[in-house]
Amino acid sequence: MDMPLPDASVIARRSRILARLAAALPADALISDPVETRAYECDALTAYRCLPLAVTLPRTTTEVATILRLCHEEGVKVIPRGAGTSLAGGSLPTADAVVLGVARMNAVLETDYPNRFIRVQSGRTNLSVTGAVEADGFFYAPDPSSQLACAIAGNIGMNSGGAHCLKYGVTTNNLLGVTMVTMQGDILQIGGPFLDAGGLDLLGVICGSEGQLGVVTEAWLRILPKPEGARPVLMGFASNEVAGACVSDIIKGGLLPVAIEFMDRPCIEATEAFAHAGYPDCEALLIIEVEGSPAEIDDQLARIKTIAQRHNPVAYRESRSEEEAKRIWLGRKSAFGAMGQMGDYICLDGTIPVSELAHVLRRIGELTASYGLRVANVFHAGDGNMHPLIIFDANKPGDLELAEALGADILRLCVEVGGCLTGEHGVGVEKRDLMHVQFTRDDMEAQLRVKDVFDPDWLLNPAKVFPLDVTASRRVA
């Protein structure tokens, strides 16, 4: 993967830039010692690393504005960073850039139950947003797998989803407003505690923009009353096709489970060997969770069972207790850890129309065999967001490149059948060079224009999302 050469004039002015930042910020808000900045040289895409010019860790919106204004004046690039859990290299630094991490900005600013929102600083972790309201019977719906660690800032940057978004939507459907600082250092409020913000939907553009448009420091988030209860059912099928058809019939049947998770045979075998959840021996497995009162759950599960039986499941297990529910989820939740036992892996994030599921799984199998690698599939079947895990050996020369090439082929396949390159992880640097597969030059140009308006000097999170050849003229300007 190529990155642009660092700006020599910025590197040459390093001490002056650091002195200005140090003078403007509290003592502990600036880190420039390479021993300490090493912790910020990559995010969760650890294959790529680069020490930044410096790291700033502000505590207030005003400090964020100070950092951005100063960097703008000096022509210094800025890498916004939440908790650093991006799997797409969304906050990979460059040597001529200052990392701006919001992790210290984690306060709850306002909770309003009658109006059903919470306002938080953007460095707050996803799970701790729910933690702040759950004693009062509420929750924040988007639930990325990394929710214990990932920050709301990154969730907004990547428009994160999770297992339960089939019913509750992704971040953009649960975000009411933000306080954002532009690269020029201007503080804006976009949207607010109300449902309809009026004007152009700038909030919709900011959500998922991967730190290209501004730094979000605060957010108004929609909170929902917690359902009375939830219960999963696990079912096994003789083929991926049958499991896929069952998903489609359940959705057509008017049911709206909160989660439909799909695991294929390699994934089932790996998780069984690792977590011993007692999953059945089958080709494909579904975990479906429904919500409501005990009687409503029984009713929905009865309907699901009727539909599932038409597809002759080889196993059908309804949880009747908290303990059984935990066992059903155990394997799914351990899947990524289990893959780690098999070797190094790349976790892809393509999305496909649900109707193409069986076809895509078959093609992935063929492609994988032709590369001589192994792939296990686990994904959110309700919305077609796939996470094929490509297993390789990082110590074997050429294996990473081989795995990356297979990954690119699988993502091309997703686009070919009507899907997209990324459903929830983002483009970052990881999928940047595949954007041509999904978008024409004109399609990308339209997106670049939005960036031109918010960040005319192209200093925010450089060399991410858009292929370098497409942005070359703007980056030198």
Partner 1 sequence: MQPDTEAALASLIAGASGKIAVTGGGTRRLDAVAGEPLSTAGLTGITLYEPGALTLVVQAGTPLDVIETTLTTENQRLPFEVPDLRGLLGRSGNSTIGGTVAANASGPRRIQAGACRDSLIGVRFVDGTGTVVKNGGRVMKNVTGIDLVKLMAGSQGRLGVLTEVAFKLLPVPETAATLVLHGLDDATAITALSSALTSPFDVSGAAHWPGHGTFIRIEGFATSVAYRSAELQRRLAGFGTVDAAADDPWPAIRDVAPFHGAAGDVWRLSTTPSQAPALVARLAPRQALYDWGGGLVWLLTDEGFDLRAALGPFAGHATLIRSHSALPTFHPEPAPIAALTRGLRAKFDPRGLFAGAL
CB of 410 to partner 1, least distance (A): 15
C-beta separation of 176 from 193 below 8 A:
yes
Query: Could you tell me the two tokens for 445?
Result: 């140009």
Q: Based on CB atoms, which residue is closest to partner 1, 32 or 461?
A: 461
CB of 40 to partner 1, least distance (A): 23
CB of 247 to partner 1, least distance (A): 8
Q: Based on CB atoms, which residue is closest to partner 1, 106 or 209?
A: 209
Burial of 295 per CB tally in 10 Å (0-12, 13-18, 19+): exposed
Taking residue 417's Cβ as centre, other Cβ atoms within 10 Å add up to: 16
Cα dihedral value 302, 291, 169, 259, nearest 10: -60
3-state secondary structure the chain: CCCCCCCHHHHHCHHHHHHHHHHHCCHHHEECCHHHHHHHCCCCCCCCCCCCCEEECCCCHHHHHHHHHHHHHHCCEEEEECCCCCCCCCCCCCCCEEEEECCCCCCEEEEECCCCEEEEECCCEHHHHHHHHHHHCEECCCCCCCCCCCEHHHHHHHCCCCCCHHHHCCHHHCEEEEEEECCCCCEEEEECCCCCCCCCCHHHHHCCCCCCCCEEEEEEEECEECCCCEEEEEEEECCHHHHHHHHHHHHHCCCCCCEEEEEEHHHHHHHHHHHCCCCCCCCEEEEEEEECCHHHHHHHHHHHHHHHHCCCCCEEEECCCHHHHHHHHHHHHHHHHHHHHHCEEEECCCECCHHHHHHHHHHHHHHHHHHCCEEEEEEECCCCEEEEEEEECCCCCCHHHHHHHHHHHHHHHHHHCCCECCCCCCCCCCCHHHHHHHCCHHHHHHHHHHHHHHCCCCCECCCCCCCHHHHHHHHHC
CB of 426 to partner 1, least distance (A): 5
Q: Based on CB atoms, which residue is closest to partner 1, 264 or 383?
A: 383
Q: Based on CB atoms, which residue is closest to partner 1, 4 or 292?
A: 292
Q: Based on CB atoms, which residue is closest to partner 1, 14 or 226?
A: 226
Cα separation, 135 vs 192, whole angstroms: 24
CB of 248 to partner 1, least distance (A): 4
CB of 279 to partner 1, least distance (A): 25
CA neighbor of 46 nearest in space, from 342, 346, 257, 287: 346
Q: Based on CB atoms, which residue is closest to partner 1, 446 or 472?
A: 446
CB of 376 to partner 1, least distance (A): 20
Q: Based on CB atoms, which residue is closest to partner 1, 285 or 352?
A: 352
Q: Based on CB atoms, which residue is closest to partner 1, 38 or 305?
A: 305
Q: Based on CB atoms, which residue is closest to partner 1, 122 or 209?
A: 209
Q: Based on CB atoms, which residue is closest to partner 1, 367 or 427?
A: 427
CB of 186 to partner 1, least distance (A): 6
CB of 41 to partner 1, least distance (A): 24
Q: Based on CB atoms, which residue is closest to partner 1, 98 or 242?
A: 242
CB of 111 to partner 1, least distance (A): 12
Q: Based on CB atoms, which residue is closest to partner 1, 177 or 232?
A: 177
Question: What Rg, from alpha-carbon coordinates, does the chain have?
Answer: 23
CB of 421 to partner 1, least distance (A): 5
CB of 200 to partner 1, least distance (A): 5
